[in-house]
Amino acid sequence: MNEFALIDAYFKRLSESTGALLSQRTSISPATLGIGDDCALLSVPAGMQLAVSADTLIRGVHFPDNTAPFDIGYKSLAVNLSDLAAMGAEPAWFTLCITLNGQTEQWVEAFCAGMASVLQASPIQLIGGDTTRGALSISVQVMGLVPAGRALTRAGAQVGDDIYVSGCIGEAAVGLALAQGRAGDWRDLDQSAMLARLNRPQPRVGLGCALRDQASACIDVSDGLLADLNHVLVQSQVGASLDLDSIPATRALPLMQSITSGDDYELCFTAPPGCRDAIGAIAEQQGIALTRIGSITSDRGMRDRAGNPLTPAGYTHF
Ligand code: ADP
Ligand code: MG
């Protein structure tokens, strides 16, 4: 199949079905002009800001060589939705730049099915992209909408704020260890659940939007809890005291490994202590555990409750 036939058969179809889903399930309008012209045309409603983010997934770096195409499609969209969640933005549109290396039509079909399964939970319309040949890589750019001035940035944490994390940390790292066949005590584990945490992360889109009224700063945990929290601390010019025992982490790995491994796609956020009840209500309404793990301090850096410094180690490419 050539480039244009692929676009027509798979990407254009995905665009049409996702446009329909977007208008059925959200108040956001599909693109005025979608796939097929030189540019797509979008209308940003008055009073809203466009939140834009991109992530590239490369075979052998972001996913093991043997990852199923469904999971690659799933994850490349899910990790981008996680960035919108971290800003408190509602997903609207995305572009897909895909470089293929002799993948079959069945591969592309499964890849699109993976994407389609993510956007069942969080509708977002495919509006364009690029299709090329070379080493397999997928680059997705997402666009979301957030009421003007209300986005959750990394720079808003205040001294005295509580620090929270959603869900459970380190399960994707367990999944990676399993996928790579690494030795460990995996006997009591639900292995397929751990692999799903690696390959099919659930972007916390509803949670991010719900936190807009409470959180002072927010980030999604992609490189490791400590490393990502540290980005918030640096940009907010504050420090943190963490209660390590309270961190909701898998028991299958040592705690320090869980909180320095990537791919969790949970949200780490800060909020004033006066928001505790409201945050408890959000946890209940979203059906997601939100755990208080420490507080923001004026002393820079990260420390445990005993005052020992914590190193913000995490995954880096360079
Ligand atoms: P151009 O030569 O102007 O870059 P292309 O031939 O690359 O145009 O693409 C034709 C149309 O198909 C454009 O609207 C583009 O956005 C869309 N498109 C190409 N590849 C993809 C893709 N992988 N996913 C979605 N849309 C795509
Ligand atoms: Mg092109």
Quick one: pLDDT at residue 314? 66
Residues 44-71 have a mean pLDDT of 92
Ligand 2 geometric centre to CA of 97 (Å): 9
Whole-angstrom distance, CA of residue 213 vs CA of residue 310: 30
pLDDT above 90 covers what percent of the chain? 83
Residues 293-298 have a mean pLDDT of 98
Q: C-alpha angle 274/235/216, rounded to 5°?
A: 20
Tens digit of pLDDT for each residue in 13-23? 999 999 999 99
Residue 313 has pLDDT above 80, yes or no: no
User: What's the DSSP call for residue 9?
Assistant: I
pLDDT confidence tier of residue 9, bands split at 50, 70 and 90: confident
Whole-angstrom distance, CA of residue 227 vs CA of residue 81: 20
Q: From the CB of residue 206, how many other CB atoms can be counted at a distance below 10 Å?
A: 17
Q: Give the position of tokens 């929270």.
A: 164
Ligand 1 geometric centre to CA of 128 (Å): 6
Ligand 2 geometric centre to CA of 132 (Å): 8
The 3-state DSSP composition of the chain as helix, strand, coil percent (nearest 5) reads 35, 25, 35
Whole-angstrom distance, CA of residue 64 vs CA of residue 168: 23
For all residues of the chain together, what is the average pLDDT?
94
Which residues lie across from 292 on neighbouring strands? 164
The identity of residue 303, as a single letter, is R
In SS3 terms, 210-231 reads as HHHHCCCEEEECCCCHHHHHHH
User: What are the backbone angles phi and psi of residue 229, rounded to the nearest 5°?
Assistant: -60, -40
Q: Whose Cα sits closest to atom 27 in ligand 1?
A: 129
CA-34 nearest atom, ligand 1: 14
Q: Whose Cα sits closest to atom 2 in ligand 1?
A: 38
The continuous run of DSSP H or E covering 166 comes out as strand 162-166
Tens digit of pLDDT for each residue in 140-159? 999 999 999 999 999 999 99
Q: C-alpha angle 231/237/241, rounded to 5°?
A: 75
Quick one: pLDDT at residue 34? 87
Whole-angstrom distance, CA of residue 42 vs CA of residue 31: 5
Residue 1 has pLDDT above 80, yes or no: no
